[in-house]
Homo-oligomer: A and B are copies of this chain.
Amino acid sequence: MSGSVSPLAPKSFATVPALRGVRMATASAGIKYKNRTDVLMMVFDKPASVAGVFTRSKCPSAPVDFCRANLSHGTARAVVVNSGNANAFTGKKGREATALTAKSASAAVGCGENEVYLASTGVIGEPLDATKFSGVLDAMAKDATGDFWFEAAKAIMTTDTYPKVATRTAEIGGVSVTINGIAKGAGMIAPDMATMLSFVVTDADIAPAALQALLSEGVGPTFNAVTVDSDTSTSDTLLMFATGAAAADGQARVETAGDARLASFRTALNELLKDLALQVVRDGEGARKMVAVTVAGAESDVAAKRIALSIANSPLVKTAVAGEDANWGRVVMAVGKSGEMADRDRLAIWFGGIRVAVDGERDPAYSEAATSAAMKEEDIDIKVDIGLGNGTATVWTCDLTKEYVAINGDYRS
């Protein structure tokens, strides 16, 4: 964990209520860190529907492989997450570690190993000694409690400077349901570092296939629209669980994502995913400014997102934002390199709501003073109108600072 909290951290944290059907416990297993918790266990006393999305890495971690294999089973009884070691690029030893953890968790909870979900974050390539925490899962399963979301979020932190929690309510067929979530960042990846993990739980009664559809659709404009440094972790994992406890209040089970009763739930879920995703960006390594990049007028939404990511991942755009420089020449560069259709002479670019370029040149009304003032803000909006079609997309990123280089490049002794 970093010494100081990100200047972009939320001014206050959401109070996340207990949610029927899930209990949590944390422990300090000393995997890597001292004097802090580094293991989280979530227990579902009745089988919960489960859905998941994972890293697109071709070299995923052992826990990612493990979760993917279990997902077809559709229900979950336990989740075990550790920080400090990613159990990635650990070969046979990595599979042995997930097997041992799953076995211990299934014994502790009294469920099948195919109802266990695992995630690990931390160093890549170091064997994970799962015996360090497998022995404490029995006690954790017994002690687990519902009102523990903030502590849960703390146990999974790596270079995060603050825990990430969110909660929303919705209704399904007139029955009130809750969605809670936690997440961690803080670079997109790595050894001694970060990875994106998030766990979302609702007490709604939703079948696995519908839950998966909701989640897969929800991540597009949220978790899949944020980038800190364009690097992709071997371990990124977003799992969602539905305990079904709201059935006791008369919520009839939702079987398909097309069910009209999901309108409120879908909105609440997407808001919660966006909330967590933006909290991850606001804790990006070395971040001093939050940047929203909106592209309009592209040939399609897919093209707009590709252009927006090209801008958001450009080191030159990100260093310009760090320097409070409304350097729209670099935005033009990033549009050009995206590979998507663009016509220089139709481009318009805004920084902080101020149009700085239009029709292929600097805006005649450009004011250096007004633009400089806008760039001093903590939140910077960059907008580009491609002028060719109706495709739009927004992605979020942070600036690239010397602190990012220091965090990721300071000499090992």
Contacts and interface: CB of A to CB of B under 8 A. Distances in A.
Contacts of A15: none
Secondary structure of the A side of the interface? Answer: loop
A324 B411 contact: yes
A231 B333 contact: yes
A59 B323 contact: no
Interface residues of A, number: 77
Contacts of A91: 344-345, 359-361
Given A89-B344, A91-B360, A409 B320 contact: yes
A330 interface: yes
A405 B336 contact: no
A411 B408 CA distance: 22
Contact of A232 (B93, B325, B333, B406): B333
Interface stretch (A67-75, A122-130, A201-209, A218-226): A122-130
Interface stretch (A30-38, A40-48, A102-110, A186-194): A186-194
Interface stretch (A4-12, A135-143, A248-256, A311-319): A311-319
A322 interface: yes
A360 B229 contact: no
A261 interface: no
Nearest to A360: B91
Contact of A187 (B230, B316, B404): B316
Interface string A308-347: 0000011110011111110111101111111111101101
28 contacts: A58-B335, A58-B336, A58-B341, A59-B332, A59-B333, A89-B329, A89-B347, A89-B360, A91-B360, A125-B332, A189-B316, A190-B329, A190-B333, A191-B327, A191-B330, A229-B316, A230-B314, A230-B315, A231-B333, A232-B336, A232-B337, A233-B333, A315-B400, A322-B409, A324-B411, A325-B409, A372-B412, A402-B402
9 nearest A-B pairs in the assembled complex, by CB-CB distance: A124-B329, A57-B336, A59-B336, A91-B360, A319-B409, A191-B329, A232-B337, A323-B409, A319-B408
Given A125-B361, A231-B334, A401-B409, 6 more contacts: A56-B337, A60-B336, A92-B361, A231-B337, A315-B400, A325-B411
